[in-house]
Amino acid sequence: MFKSGFIGIIGRPNAGKSTLFNAVVGNKISIISDRPQTTRNKITGIKNYPDTQMIFLDTPGMHKPKTPMNRAMVQTTRETISGVDVLLMLVEANTDVHSHDLFLIESLSQTKVPVILVINKIDLIENKFLLPLINKFRTLYNFQEIFPISALKGDGIKDLLNTVKKILAEGPKYYSDDFQTDATERFIAGEFIREKIILCTKQEVPYSTAVQIDLFKEDETKNLISIAATINVEKESQKAIMIGKKGAMLKKIGTQARLEMEKLFGAKVFLKLFVRVRKEWTTSDKMLQEFGILKN
C-alpha cells in the first residue's frame, strides 16, 4: 500500500516553520531569517519514502493582519489549513503561550484534520520547563500528538515524520522521486535575493521590498545562469539604503544571493540587480497581485 498526503506547516511568525520545512525536504528551498513574516507565499516541498510521499507546505506566519499585504499572507495560511490532510502547528519552546498562538488555535476551530503540536527550539531551554508548556497547550486544543523538536539541530524530526506517515491514508504518488519542490527556479532566485535583503538591511526596509525576476536564462553549454532582478521599494530613502555608499550594499546583497543560488542550482550564476521605487505598493491590491503576494 502506498500512502501520500499534504501536510501544512503553520505557526506564528518566527516559530521556525521554514527551518523545519528545509530540514524535512533536505535542501534549502524556503528562506530563513530571525525576523517575523519572512515567508510571504505558500511553498511546497516533497519528502519521498519507498512507500510514502509527503507533500509539505510552508506558510506565512499566522498573525492578526493590519495591512493589505499581511491580510494576503494570512489568507494564504487560512487556505492551507482548509486544504491539507495533516497540520503541524509550530510553537516556540523558549516562550510562553503567545497571543498569536491563541489566534491560530481559534482558526483551527472548524478543522477536521489531525493537528500535531510541534514545540520547536527545545535546544534553547532546560527540560524542566517543557512539561508545563505541554500541559498548557493540552488545555487549549485536542492535539493528535505533541512533539518537542529542534528543527535547527534535527532533534525529534525522525519521530515526527514517522507519526505523520502513520496518519496518512492510502494515496497516489503526486510527484516523481527526484522532485523536491514545485517552486520554480525563478521564484527561488527571487526569494534568495529577498532573504539577503532581510539579513543585510535594517528596520522597515525588508518589509517594504518585493523582488521581481526580469531575466532567467540558462546556458547549459557553459553551465551558466544569467539572472536580472528588480528590487522594488516604497521610498527614495529606502532605495538609497538598498544601494548603499558607492553601491556597496547592493553588491553585498547580490554576492550573498548569488552564492546561495550557485549552491542550489549547481551552476555558475551571473546576477544583476536594479532598485526601483514603487510608492505605497504594500497597500495596493494591484501591485500586490503583480508581485505574486495577493492572488488574482
For residue 113, pLDDT beyond 60 = yes
**Whether 200 and 157 share a structural domain:** no
**Whether 23 and 158 share a structural domain:** yes
**Whether 108 and 195 share a structural domain:** no
pLDDT band at 155 (very low <50, low <70, confident <90, very high): very high
Examine the fold and report which residue of 132, 167, 202 is the final residue of a domain before the chain moves on: 167
pLDDT value for 36: 46
Q: Is residue 94 situated within a structural domain?
A: yes
In a 3-state reduction of DSSP, which class is residue 126? coil
**Whether 158 and 206 share a structural domain:** no
Total domain count for the chain? 2
Give tens-digit pLDDT for 10-55: 888 778 888 898 898 887 777 554 554 555 456 788 999 999 999 9
- Verdict on whether the full-model pTM lies above 0.95: no
Q: By residue range, what is the domain housing residue 236?
A: 185-290
The CATH number of the domain where 149 resides is what? Answer: 3.40.50.300
How would DSSP label each residue in 11-69?
Answer: ESTTSSHHHHHHHHHTS--S---SSTT---S-EEEEEE-SSEEEEEEE-PPP----SHH
Nearest Cα residue to 291 out of 182, 179, 213: 213
Nearest Cα residue to 61 out of 15, 111, 8, 126: 15
pLDDT value for 224: 96
* Over residues 201-208, mean pLDDT: 71
pLDDT value for 22: 87
Q: Is residue 137 situated within a structural domain?
A: yes
**Whether 235 and 134 share a structural domain:** no
**Whether 14 and 147 share a structural domain:** yes
Give tens-digit pLDDT for 160-187: 999 999 999 999 999 888 888 888 889 8
**Whether 87 and 224 share a structural domain:** no
Examine the fold and report which residue of 134, 167, 200 is the final residue of a domain before the chain moves on: 167
The CATH number of the domain where 264 resides is what? Answer: 3.30.300.20
CB 14 within 8 A of CB 36: yes
**Whether 66 and 101 share a structural domain:** yes
